[in-house]
């Protein structure tokens, strides 16, 4: 039971971390004037009252996955877990076009080693692979640049979990919520070759560098 109590929150937090760069629909299903569903021209450049950094965000960006792994370690340590190491391997990239197309590509594994109380070290790893596409626009009602998304297709996106304790590895049947069910907005700060995104009510901040 102590192992189960440790594994469940750990893997769920890893899921939230690895999806930190992606986005979803608003919780109440409503859209501001900057959303793809109400944009008259279909171009994010024309939305958000002229204050949204479309010109900066357009292009392909690569996530700092090592920084995300470090954030995971900090969050887990705050829950009382004894974190030994965290690490990431692979890539996460996003691409925004000026006409409102969005693509999120994953080929990343994030792992964490945790010392179980009076027991062995546990290693939990989660791999995210595949692609999610959507349309995007600015939320014109927001006081800061915030993206909203719709028209999701995450059929090519897969997640696998594994847990290793004392040399024995097994797959953990943790259901990952579909990306399309995510709620809120993606707050954006963009300057030059650096993009920083924070999911509304999310735990993690993703730093992206122009690819």
pLDDT for 102 = 94
Crossing angle of helices 65-78 and 2-18, in 10° steps, is 140
d(CA 136, CA 82): 39
Note the pTM of the prediction, 2 decimals: 0.79
Q: Which residues of the chain have pLDDT under 70?
A: 1-12, 15-51, 172-184
Domain that holds residue 85: 2-210
- Give whole-number Cα distances, 145 to 137, 164, 178, in Å: 10, 41, 25
pLDDT for 180 = 42
d(CA 113, CA 164): 9
Three-state SS at 166: coil
Helices and strands (H, E) in the chain, number of each type: 3, 9
pLDDT for 62 = 97
Tokens of 48: 């958000």
d(CA 118, CA 189): 44
The distance in angstroms from the start CA to the end CA of the chain is 44
pLDDT for 8 = 59
pLDDT for 111 = 92
d(CA 71, CA 52): 28
d(CA 72, CA 70): 5
Find where tokens 């943790």 sit: 174
pLDDT for 201 = 81
pLDDT for 33 = 33
**pLDDT of 31-90, one tens digit each?**
333 344 433 333 565 454 446 799 999 999 999 999 999 998 898 888 888 999 999 999
* Radius of gyration for the chain, computed over Cα atoms and rounded to the nearest angstrom: 18
Give the number of domains in the chain: 1
Tokens of 80: 């009382």
Phi/psi of residue 60, nearest 5 degrees? -105, 140
- 46 and 172 Cβ atoms separated by less than 8 Å: no
d(CA 3, CA 72): 19
Phi/psi of residue 12, nearest 5 degrees? -65, -40
Residue 10 DSSP class: H
């Amino acid at each position: 039971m102590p192992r189960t109590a440790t594994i469940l929150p750990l893997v769920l937090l890893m899921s939230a971390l690895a999806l930190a760069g992606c986005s979803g629909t608003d919780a109440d299903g409503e859209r501001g004037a900057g959303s793809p569903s109400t944009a008259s021209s279909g171009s994010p450049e024309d939305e958000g009252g002229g204050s949204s950094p479309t010109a900066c965000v357009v292009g392909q960006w690569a996530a700092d996955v090592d920084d995300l792994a470090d954030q995971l370690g900090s969050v887990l340590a705050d829950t009382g877990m004894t974190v030994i190491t965290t690490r990431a391997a692979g890539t996460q990239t996003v691409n925004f076009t000026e006409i409102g197309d969005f693509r999120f590509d994953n080929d990343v594994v994030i792992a964490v080693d945790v010392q179980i109380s009076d027991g062995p070290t546990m290693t939990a790893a989660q791999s995210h692979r595949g692609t999610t596409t959507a349309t995007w626009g600015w939320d014109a009602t927001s006081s800061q640049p915030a993206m909203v998304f719709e028209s999701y297709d995450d059929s090519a996106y897969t997640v696998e979990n594994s847990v290793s304790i004392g040399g024995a590895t097994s797959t953990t049947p943790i259901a990952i919520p579909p990306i399309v069910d995510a709620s809120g907005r993606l707050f954006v700060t963009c300057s030059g070759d650096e993009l920083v995104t924070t999911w509304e009510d999310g735990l993690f901040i993703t730093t992206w560098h122009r690819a």
